[in-house]
Amino acid sequence: MEKRLLEIREQIMLYFKEHLPKYTILNIRKKSYHPDDSHLYMISAKKDDGTYAVWTCWNQKTESLNHGHYGLQSEEECEKVMDELYYGGDTLS
C-alpha cells in the first residue's frame, strides 16, 4: 500500500478511535476515481452490537465523516450501499 493510503487509513482509524469507538473498520474505498474527488472515501464498519454501518463520505481534506447508513445487517449490505453510491465516471447523455 502506498504511503499516502497508509496515512489516510491511519487518520481514519484515529477518527474512529476518538469519535466512534464502538465501531471496527472493515473497508475503506475511494468514493470515485474522478480527479476532483481524490480526497473522498467511503468506509464500512461493524458496531459492537453486531450491526453494520457505511459512511459514504470521508473527506480527507477536512477530516470529516458524513452520510452515514446505520443498522445494516451484513457486510454484503455495506458493499451494496458502497457500490450504489460509487461514482465511476460513467454518464449517459
Q: Are the beta carbons of 69 and 84 closer than 8 angstroms? A: no
**HSE-CB for 54 with a 13 A CA cutoff:** 24
**HSE-CB for 65 with a 13 A CA cutoff:** 20
Q: Percent of the chain having pLDDT more than 70?
A: 94
At residue 89 the predicted structure's pLDDT band, cuts being 50, 70 and 90, is low
| pLDDT tens string 17-49 | 999 999 999 999 999 988 899 999 999 999 999
Q: Are the beta carbons of 78 and 25 closer than 8 angstroms? A: no
